[in-house]
Amino acid sequence: MRLSHWNVYHFSLPLLHPFTTHQGSLQEREGIIVEGVSEDGQSGWGECVAFSTPFYTEETVDTAWFMLNDLLLSKISSDDPSNISHVFSQYQGHPMAKAAIEMAIWDLKAKQGNHPLYHYVGGIRDQISTGVVISLKENWKEKVDKYKEQGYQRYKLKINKENAYEHLNTFRTFYPDLPLMIDGNGAYQPDEMAAILALDDFKLLMIEQPFRAGDFYWHAQLQKKMKTSICLDESIKSYEDGKQAYFMRSGKSINIKIGRVGGWREALSLHQFLYEKKISLWVGGMVETGISKAHSLALASLPGFMIPGDLSPSDRFWDRDFVYPSIQINQGKISLPNKPGIGFEVDREFVEKQSIRKNKIKLMG
Ligand code: OSB
Ligand code: MG
């Protein structure tokens, strides 16, 4: 399949409520939407999930804008996998920029073959279990009661290391058996391991990324001492990172985000390897729009994803999403549409309306 051009949109979309972590607060979500148009006029959609500042990993909207518009997109004029890996391998890092391209290409490939994306990638279920993240400074009691009514199957608290123990202690008095986990987002130093070990009796499903992004060693030391599973997020930016985590025994769980690991190819290789090795897997979230979410939902249909991911419907973050119909939760599950590609229509007018800048890259022959 050959491409005629790429459209790139740098958007800003207001969140319904601020999303706060120990690293700061997000009120407007800036990001990049990538549209690949085939020679026969079909569109494939991808989303670059980098944030406007590098608080989560190094990439930002501006570094991704540069990678996409100045280096990558002009060299991707077809779905030829060997060309895509050749182009990607010329540049270190920037997985979220690369992933946006692969998302668009895979949406297009599925559409050209008339397959729902989740079939195309080998998914085995069309009902996806949902999980929700409660950020700091939210009225968690009120929120959790609402989320329980909606049927969310797994709950994740963002924590502040200064009051993690007290927060969990109070939370557990209200919800002793709720399927619960916490996300450290790298807040702890290796010499603060005792503070993490003190959380071992809260019956948590897991503790996500307590130590810094890129660490494997200290997570392995911690897992040896803890019965609660350790899960890596920020440390896994490629298939090779996932293998390293497995061989170093850095934890019992890994969350996969297509953006963070550099695209569909890496995500599927990670799934295959880690599923065989019995590492528990779930799909992470990036406060993303329905475009990236639709890709994440297709990923979550694969057999290894047995824990509900950070997969919430459109109204968790947005008044109006970039896709229609909006993504809906029904008795705690999201149904995958049986339409070709990502299965949701993209509201192009709304994407245009929210765009700060746009670029078109024409491809020759
Ligand atoms: O660490 O998983 C994370 C959101 C932004 C940046 C990092 C993370 C998150 C989340 C997922 O926790 C929130 C969601 O999209 O549901
Ligand atoms: Mg995380």
Report whether 259 contacts 99 (CB < 8 A).
yes
Q: Is 233 in the pocket of ligand 1 (CB under 6 A)?
A: yes
Q: Which atom of ligand 1 is nearest to the CA of 312?
A: 16
Q: Which residue has the tokens 């518009």?
A: 69
Q: Are strands 180-183 and 207-208 parallel, antiparallel or unpaired?
A: parallel
Q: What is the pLDDT of residues 100-113, one digit of tens each?
A: 999 999 999 999 99
Nearest-ligand number for the alpha carbon of 133:
1
Please measure the distance between the N-terminal and C-terminal CA atoms of the chain and give it in whole angstroms.
Answer: 12
Note the pLDDT of residue 364: 80
Instruction: Specify the pTM.
Output: 0.98
Annotated active-site positions, please? 158, 257
Nearest-ligand number for the alpha carbon of 136:
1
Q: Is 301 in the pocket of ligand 1 (CB under 6 A)?
A: no
Residue ranges of the chain with per-residue pLDDT less than 50: none
Q: Is 107 in the pocket of ligand 1 (CB under 6 A)?
A: no
Contacts of 238 (CB under 8 A, 6+ apart): 95, 261, 262, 266
Q: Is 57 in the pocket of ligand 1 (CB under 6 A)?
A: no
- 54 alpha carbon to ligand 2 midpoint, in Å? 14
Report whether 233 contacts 211 (CB < 8 A).
no
- 286 alpha carbon to ligand 1 midpoint, in Å? 5
Q: What is the pLDDT of residues 227-255, one digit of tens each?
A: 999 999 999 999 999 999 999 999 999 99
- 19 alpha carbon to ligand 1 midpoint, in Å? 9
Note the pLDDT of residue 365: 60
CA 197 to chain centre: 27
Question: 305 - beta bridge partners?
Answer: 281
346-351: Cβ within 8 A, 24+ apart: 346/33, 346/35, 346/43, 346/45, 346/291, 346/322, 347/320, 347/321, 347/322, 347/323, 350/320, 350/322, 351/9, 351/11, 351/33, 351/322
Report whether 205 contacts 180 (CB < 8 A).
yes
